[in-house]
Amino acid sequence: MENEREEEIEDMSMSPPSLGSMQFAGSNGFGHSMEFMSQAYLPNMYTEIDIKIEDSNFNQDPPFPIYLKFEDVEYKVRGSQVASTNPVKSVMSKVATQHTMEEDRYKKILKGMTGSIGPGEILALMGPSGSGKTTLLRVVGGRLVDNVKGKITYNDVRFNPAVKRRIGFVTQEDVLFPQLTVEETLIFSAFLRLPSNMSEQQKYARVETTIKDLGLERCRHTKIGGGYLKSISGGERKRTSIGYEILVDPSLLLLDEPTSGLDSTAANRLLVTLQGLAKGGRTIITTIHQPSSRIFHMFDKLLLISEGYPIYYGKAKDAMQYFSSLRFTPEIPMNPAEFMLDLATGQVNNISFPQDVFKEQDSADSSKSVIEYLQLKYKETLEPKEKDENHGAANTPEHLQLAIQVKKDWTVSWLDQFFILYKRTFRARCKDYFDKLRLVQALGIALLLGLLWWKSSTNTEAQVRDQVGLMFYICIFWTSSCIFGAVYVFPFEKIYLVKERKADMYRLSVYYVSSTLCDMVAHVFYPTFFMLILYFMAGFKRTAACFFLTLFAVLLIAITSQGAGELFGAAVMSIQRAGIVASLVLMLFLLTGGYYVQHVPKVMQWLKYLSFVYYGFRLLLKVQYSGEELYECESKRGCRTLQSSPTFDTVNLEGGLTEAWVLIAMALCFRVFAYFCLRRRIDVRN
């Protein structure tokens, strides 16, 4: 079936497309004729289905062209019903029809957007804050699907997973790992997202070209930084974010407020870069809040939005003319973007306007009247024109329609993804792992405990009690430090995870496994280092078997605690709440750990079975002490076995090591649950 389709596409690509079918929109339609773009793409048609080959020729061939059309796009969100403070009104609203109630629950964000854009063009979405620019961008990018009305097509084909892979989305916030350098960020992205049949050199070459294209040579070895870390500039950060997206050569590039926070020179430079990318054959849509006049003139098309309604759509350079035809003109020299934003907010200070604006409207709210007037004029003049052009335009050539439905291959195998992600996670977190303070803490506490329990022994009941106290302290220390070390990982990385999952970069299971295994390095290293010091200072049994078994038990406790921490973190996914949940559960586990109280009332005994501290502590006792060992030999009553000591009243020192199995099972279960919690919490549909 698939083969048949591939042949079909190949056939079509070989026969030259008829000119008639290629003629495309005129003045307000796509800036480049369809003929030109599809011809440019033809030399590559033989390999069109084999995207891998097409990809490997990156930067030599034009990107796959995407013609985007959207018509009457509406979007609404479910909000809480507006509660009235007036009790009479509230009763009235309750008796309203079911239909009205249903309507009331929704708030319309986009109220009928129409437009089109093709390769080589930049469409700017402009409007005051809250007007719906980001929402429209997300709808067009296929990131908002529910409650969207209207028709959006890509080469006359509706959105589908194959289209998704051809879209690059640069969000307003730059979500980049602060510990990685610009170059590392791009390299990891390239290795995760480029198909496995591309050679390493080709991937490096693509990173190199991207760095050059975006002018990032100067900061390539600088860490992204942020917060307290010394960092690259805002413009460089934005360009890195764009580079991250264009590495995979998207045909449609969507950018949300790329210039916000940049000075005018950096903003201008960024726009020049975007122009270059568009000229290369990409379709670009960008939202922009308040562009300078220089930037404004770089846009090909403009969609001016006011409160979710369009008030202008067309060529950017014709916008001023349109408004002056409606008799809206600035009275003083004004940046066109500023003028239009004033109109979009209904502010007409220093702007002359036609008097019929207030004819039918209540003049009390002048800005509302202006907006409604402009919306009406748009509906009367521009909208029908754009719709006519959209409908009148020929369909996209069939080979482009078919090709956009073929999923661009990113098939990097699970294992390959794992190795790349493991490496990246390690790079991003290694500073944290080998933090000097952590090392000093482990060393300091091991030394302190070693001195307090210096060469402790088990000759008397009191000495046994002391040493058992140390055992429990080791349990507490590693349980708490591993739970707290793991509980914040997912809440902190949530933003990265959401972004990368939305871009389909890797499987969630790969992320989880590489994260947990990577962190395990720290959760194994520190307890080992700690035990190497403490074990011999505190005078525990000097046999290799005993040492390794004790170490094994401590590591098992650490790894189980890490799993528990991950589970709590993934379950709440909030930095503040993760800490609270972890400390509460930790307290419960410690209390039921079997040290403070051994003889628990029957009704409460089930609690200890949930507590892995309980199993960890028993395991430590079992590996360190043997029941037949004699002590109290110097007392009047003579030698007794350790098992007879009241300290081991509820522990059978001779029992097998079932606790080890229970801990292993718990460590696995916590992780499985953590993974499923993460799955539920990282919802990338919206």
Ligand X SMILES: Nc1ncnc2c1ncn2[C@@H]1O[C@H](COP(=O)(O)OP(=O)(O)O)[C@@H](O)[C@H]1O
Closest distance of CB 551 from Mg ion, Å: 54
Per-residue CA distances from 649 to 383, 456, 629, 643, 652 (Å): 85, 21, 15, 8, 8
State which residue, 111 or 640, has the beta carbon closest to ligand X. 111
Strand 351-352 relative to strand 329-330: parallel, antiparallel, unpaired?
Answer: antiparallel
CA 204-210-211 angle, 5° bins = 90
Among ligand X, Mg ion, none, the one that 130 touches (CB under a kind-dependent 5 to 8 A) is ligand X
Closest distance of CB 131 from ligand X, Å: 4
Among Mg ion, ligand X, none, the one that 611 touches (CB under a kind-dependent 5 to 8 A) is none
CB neighbour burial string for 447-478, b if at least 16 within 10 angstroms, e if fewer: eebbeebeebebeeeeebeebbebbbebbbbb
Q: Cα(62)–Cα(581) distance, rounded to whole angstroms?
A: 53
DSSP letter at 501 equals: H
Q: Cα(265)–Cα(93) distance, rounded to whole angstroms?
A: 54
- Asked if residues 22 and 35 have their Cβ atoms less than 8 Å apart, the reply is yes
Residues 58-77 that bind ligand X (CB under 6 A): 77
Q: Cα(219)–Cα(109) distance, rounded to whole angstroms?
A: 40
Asked if 390 touches Mg ion (CB under 5 A), the answer is: no
Structure tokens of 465?
């009690």
Per-residue CA distances from 231 to 3, 32, 185, 225 (Å): 50, 40, 14, 4
Q: How many residues bind ligand X (CB under 6 A)?
A: 11
Concatenate the DSSP letters of all residues of 559-620 into one string. Answer: HHHHHHHHHHHHHH--HHHHHHHHHHHHHHHHHTSSSS-SS--GGGTHHHHH-HHHHHHHHH
**Window contacting ligand X (CB under 6 A); options: 130-138, 154-162, 465-473, 541-549:** 130-138
Closest distance of CB 285 from ligand X, Å: 13
- Asked if residues 682 and 504 have their Cβ atoms less than 8 Å apart, the reply is no
Closest distance of CB 103 from ligand X, Å: 16
Q: How many residues bind Mg ion (CB under 5 A)?
A: 1
Structure tokens of 125?
């979405």
Beta strand extents in 160-307 (DSSP E only): 167-170, 252-255, 283-288, 301-306
Closest distance of CB 484 from ligand X, Å: 33
State which residue, 135 or 481, has the beta carbon closest to Mg ion. 135
Closest distance of CB 134 from ligand X, Å: 3
**Window contacting ligand X (CB under 6 A); options: 133-141, 162-170, 604-612, 633-641:** 133-141
Among ligand X, Mg ion, none, the one that 37 touches (CB under a kind-dependent 5 to 8 A) is none
State which residue, 134 or 286, has the beta carbon closest to Mg ion. 134
Per-residue CA distances from 385 to 25, 74, 290, 328, 389 (Å): 12, 19, 27, 21, 6
Question: Quick one: three-class SS letters along 398-420?
Answer: HHHHHHCCCCCCCCCCHHHHHHH
**H or E stretch at 76:** strand 68-78
State which residue, 129 or 321, has the beta carbon closest to ligand X. 129
Closest distance of CB 145 from ligand X, Å: 13
Closest distance of CB 253 from ligand X, Å: 17
Residues 470-509 that bind ligand X (CB under 6 A): none
State which residue, 77 or 162, has the beta carbon closest to ligand X. 77
Among ligand X, Mg ion, none, the one that 127 touches (CB under a kind-dependent 5 to 8 A) is ligand X
Asked if 131 touches ligand X (CB under 6 A), the answer is: yes
DSSP letter at 61 equals: S
**Window contacting Mg ion (CB under 5 A); options: 131-139, 161-169, 259-267, 438-446:** 131-139
State which residue, 77 or 447, has the beta carbon closest to ligand X. 77
Torsion of CA 99, 101, 103, 107, to 10 degrees: -170
Q: Cα(618)–Cα(344) distance, rounded to whole angstroms?
A: 71
Closest distance of CB 102 from ligand X, Å: 17
Residues 88-127 that bind ligand X (CB under 6 A): 109, 127
State which residue, 140 or 578, has the beta carbon closest to ligand X. 140
Q: Cα(603)–Cα(359) distance, rounded to whole angstroms?
A: 79
Q: How far apart are the first and last CA of the chain?
A: 33
Which residue among 16, 26, 43, 130 contacts ligand X (CB under 6 A)? 130
Site track for Mg ion across 84-123, x = CB under 5 A? ----------------------------------------
Closest distance of CB 257 from Mg ion, Å: 6
Beta bridge partners of 329: 352
Closest distance of CB 620 from ligand X, Å: 51
Closest distance of CB 256 from ligand X, Å: 7
Closest distance of CB 132 from ligand X, Å: 4
- Asked if residues 214 and 239 have their Cβ atoms less than 8 Å apart, the reply is yes
Among Mg ion, ligand X, none, the one that 115 touches (CB under a kind-dependent 5 to 8 A) is none
Closest distance of CB 272 from Mg ion, Å: 23
State which residue, 289 or 501, has the beta carbon closest to ligand X. 289
Residues 514-573 that bind Mg ion (CB under 5 A): none
State which residue, 288 or 483, has the beta carbon closest to Mg ion. 288
Which residue among 13, 38, 56, 135 contacts ligand X (CB under 6 A)? 135
Asked if 134 touches Mg ion (CB under 5 A), the answer is: yes
Residue found by looking up tokens 């028709």 in the block:
151
CA 315-320-324 angle, 5° bins = 130
Which residue among 31, 63, 120, 132 contacts ligand X (CB under 6 A)? 132
**Window contacting ligand X (CB under 6 A); options: 132-140, 309-317, 406-414, 418-426:** 132-140
- Asked if residues 222 and 237 have their Cβ atoms less than 8 Å apart, the reply is no
Q: Cα(502)–Cα(170) distance, rounded to whole angstroms?
A: 11
By C-alpha distance, which of 67, 122, 140 is closest to 403?
67
By C-alpha distance, which of 337, 339, 345, 340 is closest to 307?
345
State which residue, 295 or 471, has the beta carbon closest to ligand X. 295
Site track for ligand X across 593-632, x = CB under 6 A? ----------------------------------------
**Window contacting Mg ion (CB under 5 A); options: 134-142, 561-569, 614-622, 639-647:** 134-142
State which residue, 295 or 446, has the beta carbon closest to ligand X. 295
By C-alpha distance, which of 93, 97, 77 is closest to 85?
93
By C-alpha distance, which of 38, 242, 76, 71 is closest to 140?
71
- Contacts for 141 with CB less than 8 Å, ≥ 6 apart: 167, 169, 252, 254
State which residue, 129 or 233, has the beta carbon closest to ligand X. 129
Closest distance of CB 110 from ligand X, Å: 8
State which residue, 127 or 397, has the beta carbon closest to ligand X. 127
Closest distance of CB 286 from Mg ion, Å: 11
State which residue, 143 or 223, has the beta carbon closest to ligand X. 143
Residues 243-302 that bind ligand X (CB under 6 A): none
Residues that bind ligand X in the complex, under the rule CB under 6 A: 77, 79, 109, 127, 129-135
Residues that bind Mg ion in the complex, under the rule CB under 5 A: 134
